């Protein structure tokens, strides 16, 4: 039973037809793994926490750098050289004191994803590495954990929801082959429009909540955002029956 204070705090969500008291209770009980505490992870974590999610496991090995500050909105110059997840936890706890944040200063890879995702209902990939996205996608498909992938570079952003609990839906490897030639550099190597990553991070938080609550799920679609022209394009994805990831694990 959700107490009256929590219901009052979430009253604007409860005015929506798609939400009810059980929705709020489910968010309170859910645990979300966010991989990456940069331009995508900061707004995603902030909006998930304030929207009612009470358990966040946040993973990132990096420390705050002055070049991060225009787009990584939880940090200030007072936080330089401090681990991002430690700063992020402190700020989120100040905003939502009841929040449970497990801040982990690690790189997410094949060796620790099982431990990091233990007990989590959904994973947000907020990294800026092509290789890492493939590793997380493969793990989520194999273990049937919903995944929300965001990316941004230059003026261009992408958003995709992978949910292998739904049959015949595309995974990340269906769209972007793992063995294709790709320059796997962080966004800092190419430049990035600061508000773009914030927009994609917010969209990730929204899709995570909708996926958890099974509200108008967007699995099987790729959203493309051009912040320079302000164009949004949505591509309907088709599962690749020869995909070396989801065709292997989803028989």
- pLDDT band at residue 133 under the 50/70/90 scheme: very high
Give yes or no for a contact between 160 and 175, defined as CB atoms under 8 angstroms apart.
yes
- Residue carrying structure tokens 């996926």: 211
- What pLDDT score does 181 carry? 58
Total H helices, total E strands in the chain: 10, 8
> What mean pLDDT do residues 155-160 have?
97
> What mean pLDDT do residues 125-144 have?
95
- What pLDDT score does 165 carry? 85
DSSP annotation of 126: -
Note the pLDDT tens digit of each residue in 37-90.
999 999 999 999 999 999 999 999 999 999 999 999 999 999 999 999 999 999
Which residues have a catalytic role annotated? Answer: 187
> Is the model's pLDDT at 249 over the cut of 80?
no
> Is the model's pLDDT at 16 over the cut of 90?
yes
> Is the model's pLDDT at 168 over the cut of 70?
yes
- What pLDDT score does 174 carry? 93
Contacts of range 236-244, beta carbons closer than 8 Å, 24 or more positions apart: 237/160, 237/169, 237/170, 237/174, 237/175, 238/170, 238/174, 239/168, 239/169, 239/170, 239/171, 239/174, 240/170, 240/173, 240/174, 243/170, 243/171, 243/173, 243/174, 244/173, 244/178
- pLDDT band at residue 177 under the 50/70/90 scheme: confident
- What pLDDT score does 173 carry? 95
């Amino acid at each position: 039973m959700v107490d009256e204070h929590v219901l009052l705090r979430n009253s604007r969500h409860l005015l929506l037809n798609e939400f009810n008291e059980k929705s709020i209770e489910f968010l309170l009980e859910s645990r979300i793994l966010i991989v990456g505490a940069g331009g995508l992870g900061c707004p995603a974590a902030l909006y998930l926490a304030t929207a009612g999610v009470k358990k966040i496991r946040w993973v990132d090995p990096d420390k705050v750098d002055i070049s991060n500050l225009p787009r990584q909105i939880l940090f200030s110059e007072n936080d330089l050289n401090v681990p991002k997840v430690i700063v992020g936890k402190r700020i989120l706890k100040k905003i939502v004191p009841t929040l449970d944040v497990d801040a982990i200063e690690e790189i997410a890879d094949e060796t620790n994803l099982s431990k990091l995702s233990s007990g989590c209902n959904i994973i947000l990939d907020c990294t800026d590495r092509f290789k890492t996205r493939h590793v997380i996608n493969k793990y989520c498909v194999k273990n049937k954990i919903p995944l929300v992938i965001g990316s941004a570079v230059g003026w261009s952003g992408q958003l995709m929801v992978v949910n292998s609990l739904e049959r015949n839906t595309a995974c990340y490897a269906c769209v972007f082959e793992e063995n294709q030639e790709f320059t796997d550099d962080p966004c800092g190597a190419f430049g990035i429009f600061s508000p773009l990553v914030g927009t994609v991070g917010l969209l990730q938080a929204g899709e995570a909540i909708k996926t958890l609550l099974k509200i108008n799920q967007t699995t099987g679609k790729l959203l493309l955002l051009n912040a320079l022209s302000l164009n949004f394009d949505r591509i309907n994805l088709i599962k690749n029956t020869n995909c070396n990831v989801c065709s292997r694990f989803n028989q």
